[in-house]
Amino acid sequence: MRADYATRPRGAIERLLESDRRYLSATQIHTRLDVEQARVSLATVYRTLERLHTKGTVSARVDERGETTYMLCEPEHHHHHAICRICGRVEDVPCRALDEFASALQQRYGFELDGHAMEFSGVCNTCR
């Protein structure tokens, strides 16, 4: 039960994600596949992305316009993303600093931290 067939559409989507380390929307992915003649239906794009997200190999985030975007992302160790406002490329950022912050939060507000998300916007090395 619950096999995992290696199909052409899935291959195309995964290859595209591997080639571009930034958050892309389902529509963007769909359009780009179209351009490179690897036509995949939009519904399949959504389904594949959701599958990869559940599997944990893509990170999803909704952008300021409310559109969900996806990026390949190894979850091996917890980290955060610094997203370049200009080119959209993403830098991984480890998060040791947060530990002490968590304990301060606990002491000061009695808030038991069990999850967090951070996002940084700015300009990356190459764009500057």
Partner DNA sequence: TGGGGTTTTGCGAATGTTTCGCAAATCCTG
Partner DNA sequence: CAGGATTTGCGAAACATTCGCAAAACCCCA
Q: Site residues (CB under 7 A) for DNA?
A: 1-10, 25-27, 39-44, 46-48, 50, 62, 66-68
Residue (46 or 79) nearer to DNA, CB: 46
Residue 90 bridge partners (DSSP): 83
CB 104 within 8 A of CB 83: no
According to DSSP, the β-strands at 58-62 and 68-72 are antiparallel
Binding site for a second copy (CB under 8 A): 62, 64, 66-68, 82, 84-85, 91, 93, 97, 100-101, 104-105, 109-125, 128
Q: How far is the CB of 54 from DNA (least distance, A)?
A: 11
The answer to whether 48 and 9 have CB atoms below 8 angstroms apart is yes
Name which of a second copy, DNA, none residue 15 binds, using a CB cut-off of 5 to 8 Å depending on partner kind. Answer: none
Q: Using the minimum distance from each CB to a second copy, give the nearer residue, 38 or 60.
A: 60
Nearer to DNA by C-beta: 70 or 84? 70
* Beta-bridge mates of residue 91: 82
Q: Which residue lies nearer to DNA by CB, 28 or 124?
A: 28
Angle 8-19/26-35 helices, nearest 10 degrees? 100
Selection from 122, 60, 61, 118 nearest residue 86 by Cα: 122
